[in-house]
């Protein structure tokens, strides 16, 4: 691989009790989530792909569990589908809650710690009809749902993740307009972002009220912003973007995190100047890219972890992965990211876990099934899961609790 700073050959051992895991989300794997806003947008063609049966994981949890066991993970991050649980406003489905309860109990029986996400991009239709995250009442609606599930599932869940990537959701849904409700307004972006802040605080408090000794946080997408060459103006702009995109949410909610949850995928070099006013972002050169066109930059994980450490709380990497259908980049991707993560630990970061995105090829939102992030491939007709070579590489890393010199 070319184009990024390789850390070189070294042996990396991870701390004892380090959580090795994989991450998924409900709409991306469960299938037939007919009661949420994504499904609605898929049917009315506001987004170009349909999730249909996804990986059929709602009916095939036993197959997913078998894979998790084979991989040897100590943790599994997945999300609850709000639209299955609160089918209409204030009406909760016993069947859905039993389903998730059963899933959590089975994970525990197999010594796999469940890390439960409460919101991963999708909303019940009743909620979006009431204005979704634009509504001032949205944090209250979210709190009612969180109160219900944390009472129902609380006995078996220690780690709660309230919201997945609030900034990605707000940008994609309210600025880019690619995701439902497909709007383009900086004003709404602001409104939604502040409602997420209020919703997270409320969720944090209610989960803790229902059970004290649990740990609550979010999964925040962090981009490594870096300056193009050693230019003063670019450096200032990079610091500003870092604050707005990576730092602001945490600053506004600082007391409401028991850990710092980070998803890392992207590096963004800023070249700020008056001669290129519309072209400041993504001046990455000589880059190795994934099928998605995203630069592969493992050293960025080191930087975002070191920045995150400033909050003086345990850090979890809740997502890191690559769209790579041929599986020819993923092995090196995993190894190099883990080496840089290990270096961050050596340099003092208190990192407690790493979750690879993802266990399976799944519904990649606006890109549908074209982007393949899975350690295991999924046959779109039979739903048969077939582990890729990198699945076995990751299994060996987990078994060794680190990487050997190779
Ligand atoms: C999201 C996932 C998504 C992944 C890859 C993350 O931003 O949480 O849902 O599949 O990135 O794009």
Q: Which residues contact 323 (CB under 8 A, 6 or more apart)?
A: 290, 291, 292, 294, 364, 371, 372, 373
What is the CA(319)–ligand 1 centre distance, in A?
8
Is ligand 1 within 6 A of the CB of residue 221?
A: yes
What is the CA(95)–ligand 1 centre distance, in A?
28
Q: What is the pLDDT of residue 405?
A: 56
Q: Whose CA is closest to atom 5 on ligand 1?
A: 364
Rounded Cα–Cα distance for residues 124 and 140 (Å):
14
Q: How far is CA 68 from CA 130, 321, 368, 392, in A?
A: 38, 17, 24, 12
pLDDT tens per residue across span 130-147: 999 999 999 999 999 999
Mutate to test the pocket of ligand 1, among 333, 357, 372 (most ligand atoms within 8 A of CB): 357
Ligand 1, atom nearest to 357 Cα: 4
Helix (H) or strand (E) holding 285: none
Q: Whose CA is closest to atom 3 on ligand 1?
A: 364
Is ligand 1 within 6 A of the CB of residue 164?
A: yes
Is ligand 1 within 6 A of the CB of residue 25?
A: yes
Q: What is the pLDDT of residue 278?
A: 78
Q: What is the pLDDT of residue 6?
A: 58
Contact 76, 22 (CB under 8 A): yes
Residue 280 DSSP label: -
Helix (H) or strand (E) holding 284: none
Angle (CA) 131-137-142 rounded to 5° is 95
Residue 278 DSSP label: T
Helix (H) or strand (E) holding 174: helix 166-174
What is the CA(374)–ligand 1 centre distance, in A?
12
Structure tokens at 244: 């707005």
Question: Could you write out the three-class secondary structure of 62-102?
Answer: HHHHHHHHHHCCCEEEEECCHHHHEEECCEECHHHHHHHHH
Q: What is the pLDDT of residue 10?
A: 59
Q: What is the pLDDT of residue 9?
A: 52
Exposed, middle or buried, 328 (CB in 10 Å: 0-12/13-18/19+)? exposed
Contact 152, 101 (CB under 8 A): yes
DSSP string, 313-375: S-EEEEE-----TT-SSHHHHHHHHHHHHHHHHHTT--EEEEEEE-SB----GGGTTSS---S
Q: How far is CA 128 from CA 41, 108, 182, 264, in A?
A: 11, 34, 12, 28
Contact 175, 184 (CB under 8 A): yes
Low-confidence residues of the chain: pLDDT under 50: 1-3
């Amino acid at each position: 691989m070319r184009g990024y700073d390789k850390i070189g050959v070294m042996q990396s051992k991870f701390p004892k009790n380090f959580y090795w895991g994989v991450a998924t989300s409900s709409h991306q794997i469960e299938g037939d989530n007919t009661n949420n806003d994504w499904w609605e947008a898929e049917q009315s063609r506001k987004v170009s792909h349909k999730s249909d049966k996804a990986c059929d994981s709602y009916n095939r949890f036993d197959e997913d569990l078998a894979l998790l066991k084979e991989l040897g993970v100590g943790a599994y991050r997945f999300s609850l589908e709000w639209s299955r649980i609160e089918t209409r406003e204030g009406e909760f489905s016993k069947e859905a809650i039993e389903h998730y309860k059963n899933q959590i109990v089975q994970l525990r029986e197999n010594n796999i710690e469940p890390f439960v996400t409460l919101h991963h991009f999708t909303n019940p239709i009743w909620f979006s009809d009431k204005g979704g995250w634009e509504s001032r009442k949205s944090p209250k609606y979210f709190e009612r749902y969180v109160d219900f599930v944390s009472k129902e599932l609380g006995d078996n869940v220690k780690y709660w993740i309230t919201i997945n990537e609030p900034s990605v959701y707000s940008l994609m849904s309210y600025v880019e307009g690619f995701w439902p409700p497909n709007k383009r307004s900086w004003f709404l972006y602001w409104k939604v972002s502040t409602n997420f802040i209020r919703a997270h605080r409320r969720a944090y408090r209610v989960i803790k009220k229902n059970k004290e000794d649990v740990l609550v946080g979010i999964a925040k997408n962090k981009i490594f912003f870096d300056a193009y060459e050693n230019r003063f103006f670019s450096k200032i702009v990079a610091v500003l973007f870092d604050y707005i995109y990576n730092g602001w949410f945490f600053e506004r909610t600082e007391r409401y995190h028991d850990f710092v949850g980070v998803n890392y995928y992207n590096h963004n070099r800023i070249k700020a100047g008056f001669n290129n006013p519309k072209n400041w972002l993504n001046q990455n050169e000589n880059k190795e890219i994934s099928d998605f066109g995203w630069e592969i930059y493992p050293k960025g994980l080191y930087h975002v972890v070191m920045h995150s450490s400033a909050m003086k709380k345990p850090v979890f990497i809740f997502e890191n992965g690559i769209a790579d259908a041929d599986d020819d980049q993923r092995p090196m991707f995993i190894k190099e990211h883990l080496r840089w993560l290990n270096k961050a630990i050596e340099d003092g970061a208190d990192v407690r876990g790493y979750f690879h995105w993802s266990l399976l090829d799944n519904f990649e939102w606006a890109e549908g099934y074209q982007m393949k992030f899975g350690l295991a491939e999924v046959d779109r007709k039979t739903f048969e899961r077939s582990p890729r070579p990198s699945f076995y590489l990751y299994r060996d890393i987990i078994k060794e609790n680190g990487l050997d010199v190779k």
